[in-house]
Structure 1
């Protein structure tokens, strides 16, 4: 079989057909901002060091779902270094305890609450948000990061319906639940919502419909937040191709080489109010945001770009 090299959402794939994906049938590979530098690690424009030294978020409360490992843990660590108080959510208390201990060792005096729960459980989510606000008195930033990716390889009619819907439930319902209960508090603080989405939300990747549909819906959820609650800033964030426990399980022929710290630094930059003009839109942490602002800000705002919509060339 001939081998070809493709870039999919920042990940390098060297194969023609693998992992159940016929790469020639992927739709949307050309749907990206042209002429923008792609990063896999922190770059100067979003350097978090000034936030660390100035304790930019010293009076802020940040809730992170999926906050015990991987992307979520890195985001929590960075906000703690910038002075924020934290509420971490994950399924396993042991993982949360380890994350809390690590953050407190890294940032002496850090305030960290933990909630072990299933993000699909509405009552548990409501209690976690209420517990966070009752303890800290407010909520300023919600990071809806918890999610799941199932191995690709089966088409719609051959896939297990329960597994397909589980992906939707965890990724979409889990994010919605936290958004729903956090919004009243974020309105008071004129706060921020970050939903960890994926480029798979606009790519159409054969045998990946459950993941793609869930992420596509998350992008639209962010748009509704902005329309219905303009005082709350919200962003759908593609995290790049980050090596995590979940990606290791996929056995995908993909180079996962995006550093988790790139996500954390990007969210610090956005939550500090540096790019509120991107409110309600999809962004990729791999985009050089300085170049995006310089080259495309006027066009993005004028055309209401970076949202899910029908468009003609």
Structure 2
């Protein structure tokens, strides 16, 4: 039996489509305060602009340093900015953890320097945890939303990408825990794949990765705006690809996703094991 499919059978988009048409959301987030990390360029920048157009007040954390050591240091030290956001605006409604890093995919586990391997994990996993740690108590006061920007890499096993891809898998799992723990406070949590967008970060993946990065940066930006509107709350605690048509996902798969507790990390067993 082949490995279970790890992608939903719905229409896949690589740019804005009717379900996330920006004109639908203009002004819908008035009086909402949004905290975004990694907002200086690429997906973070486009997301900040989309939320601003939707009427939100923004508190942005941007880190422009290029080296891994600098990125690591900034992310791990800057997460208390979530507290500053809350202090300045008295509340925070939406938090998007978008900061991260990626090692090149040229070396196997046996070849990779352990310190470099671990730094990627520390930035992507510990950094995401730290943002959530500081933000979730504030979101409990507003019954708000937390979005982890993860990756389809969490569902892929590519030679040379063990640190990045296993780290994103861990981020998805952290999102599941955060959703369980925060549900009593009305907080909704998503782990999203932001599409295949060419960014400064993605350059580390090399030319082979670049060939499949053909998505418009507006796709993740406006998909995230839609995710915090309330209609997709059933996806809290789950992995969501912004490439998926969210209307089709709801119409065709919402009931099954809820009843089977799908779009979460699980161990794939031999088919016969389910009948044993």
Could you tell me whether the CA contact under 8 Å between 2:4 and 2:268 is conserved in 1?
Answer: no
Match of 2:198 in 1: 243
Measured in 1, the distance between the counterparts of 2:200 and 2:163 equals: 19
TM-score (norm 1): 0.79
Match of 2:30 in 1: 58
Deviation at 1:74, TM superposition (A): 0.5
Count of aligned positions: 258
Q: Say if 2:264 is the partner of 1:307.
A: yes
User: Aligned match of 2:128 in 175, 197, 202?
Assistant: 175
Q: Say if 2:94 is the partner of 1:120.
A: no
Measured in 2, the distance between the counterparts of 1:162 and 1:291 equals: 43
Please list, as runs of the form range in 1=range in 2, the aligned pairs for 1:154-169 lying within 5 A after superposition: 154-169=107-122
Match of 2:69 in 1: none
Could you tell me whether the CA contact under 8 Å between 1:29 and 1:203 is conserved in 2?
Answer: no
User: Aligned match of 1:140 in 90, 93, 101?
Assistant: 93
Q: Say if 2:7 is the partner of 1:32.
A: yes
Could you tell me whether the CA contact under 8 Å between 2:102 and 2:204 is conserved in 1?
Answer: no
Could you tell me whether the CA contact under 8 Å between 1:48 and 1:269 is conserved in 2?
Answer: no
Deviation at 1:47, TM superposition (A): 1.4
Which structure: greater strand fraction? 1
Deviation at 1:255, TM superposition (A): 3.0
Which whole-Å deviations, capped at 9, do the CAs of 1:189-244 have from their partners, x for residues lacking one? Answer: 00001101011112111211000111000000110011111011000000111011
User: Aligned match of 1:186 in 111, 116, 139?
Assistant: 139
Measured in 2, the distance between the counterparts of 1:270 and 1:246 equals: 24
TM-score (norm 2): 0.89
Measured in 2, the distance between the counterparts of 1:255 and 1:311 equals: 27
Give the alignment's Cα RMSD to 1 decimal.
Answer: 1.6
Please list, as runs of the form range in 1=range in 2, the aligned pairs for 1:201-280 lying within 5 A after superposition: 201-230=154-183, 231-253=186-208, 254-280=211-237
Could you tell me whether the CA contact under 8 Å between 1:28 and 1:202 is conserved in 2?
Answer: no
Measured in 2, the distance between the counterparts of 1:172 and 1:29 equals: 26
Could you tell me whether the CA contact under 8 Å between 1:62 and 1:142 is conserved in 2?
Answer: yes
Deviation at 1:274, TM superposition (A): 1.7
Which whole-Å deviations, capped at 9, do the CAs of 1:111-154 have from their partners, x for residues lacking one? Answer: xxxxxx71112xx422x112111111100001000011111021
Measured in 1, the distance between the counterparts of 2:120 and 2:220 equals: 22
Could you tell me whether the CA contact under 8 Å between 1:90 and 1:118 is conserved in 2?
Answer: no
Deviation at 1:252, TM superposition (A): 2.4
Match of 2:19 in 1: 45
SS of equivalent residue, structure 1 residue 119: helix
Please list, as runs of the form range in 1=range in 2, the aligned pairs for 1:50-129 lying within 5 A after superposition: 50-52=24-26, 55-92=27-64, 118-121=74-77, 124-126=78-80, 128-129=81-82
Measured in 2, the distance between the counterparts of 1:82 and 1:48 equals: 8
Deviation at 1:48, TM superposition (A): 2.1
Measured in 2, the distance between the counterparts of 1:151 and 1:28 equals: 27
Deviation at 1:33, TM superposition (A): 1.4
Structure 1 stretches of 5 or more lacking a match?
A: 1-26, 94-116
CA distance 1:30–1:66, change in 2 (3 Å):
same
Match of 2:70 in 1: none
